Amino acid sequence: MKKIIISLLCLIIFGSIHAQDYSVSLKTPAVYNHYHINPFIINPAHTGFEGNTKLIFNFRNHWAGFPDAPKALTFGLNAAPAANMGIGGLIYSENYGAANRFIGKLNYAYQFGNENNKFALGLGGSYIQYSLDNAVFTDPYHQSPDPIINNSLNGRKFFSADLGFWGEFSKKYKIGIALPHLIETSLDNKNSSTTTPKEDKPIGFVALVGAIYEVPSYRITLEPSIGLRKISDVPFGTDLNIIARMLDDKLFGGFTYSFGPSWHRIMFLGGARVDRFRFYYSYDQSYLDFQNYNNGSHELTLSFDLFKISPKAKATMEEPAMDKEMMDK
């Protein structure tokens, strides 16, 4: 099994180097601040991994107070129809200035392992559309006719495939890696033009490594993690995260310090759980000259648990051979 996993990861990395088209690989979804709370939104392998089915809503207001700043809405369903399977979907809508992006995505994940060490491989397929608002015609800097703008008003459509791996060890350590837009192709027969040499094509990935530490005397669970990301030709970024789950997971607090070659930012997170409902809010601020022109960024996540796989059904799925043998006897 180890050889299979290693070989698969090598094939994934090799494919990401040679299968991406530079002109469209830049069009990758935003990396959320709350990805370490709900890895499902960036890693298809985490689909159904927790064994419960839930609805997710996410809103991100980037650079609040700045005119035409990016705003993104996400609706998701993360389902676990069986003990070793995850199925989910996302609808993502973003607008920034006159530009719009819409993504409809379906995820499938297969899980294997045992109660202490569990792994999953995931595949995601996305329909992506980019378009411009009709307001660009009234822009004083627009000179008609402009064939590029005219074509963009009708939108450009793409299909992309994502791959992911997720693993948890000894119910304490976790590791995940996602390769977004590993393969991407145009659906509207508009050829992408690029003169960029093959060796200069960017590689994209998002990785998360974390651990869980229980503090029973204070009813606190600490979850430190490190997030690594390289999205297209954007400089390499690192996130240092920590989440404190208090009072039996009824209250949440968190902090993130992010940095790259020429930037850094901090984020504060708070949340609460009431029965099946969870609420998370975060505020982050960048330490750049541009921070003087905006009020930071806000992100909100709401989730609702629908149902969870029963322990009896899970045991039946994990040990079918044993059950059959007992029935034969």
Contact predicate 70/294, CB 8 Å: no
DSSP-derived secondary structure for 253-266: EEEEEEE-SS-EEE
Residue 142: the pLDDT is 67
Sign of CA dihedral 76, 77, 78, 84: negative
- The pLDDT value recorded for residue 131 is 83
Q: How far apart are CA 82 and CA 174, in angstroms?
A: 21
Q: For 219-241, what is each residue's pLDDT tens digit?
A: 999 999 999 988 776 778 899 99
Q: Tell me what pLDDT residue 17 has.
A: 33
Q: What is the pLDDT at residue 30?
A: 56
Q: Is 39 helix (H, G, I), strand (E, B) or coil?
A: helix
Indicate the residue type of 90. Answer: L
Task: Identify the segments of the chain with pLDDT beneath 70.
Answer: 1-31, 137-138, 141-145, 150-154, 189-203, 233, 310-329
pLDDT reported for residue 251 = 96
3-state secondary structure (DSSP) of residue 55? strand
Question: What size, in residues, is the chain?
Answer: 329
- Nearest to residue 257, comparing CAs of 247, 249, 265, 248? 265
Q: What is the pTM of this model?
A: 0.80
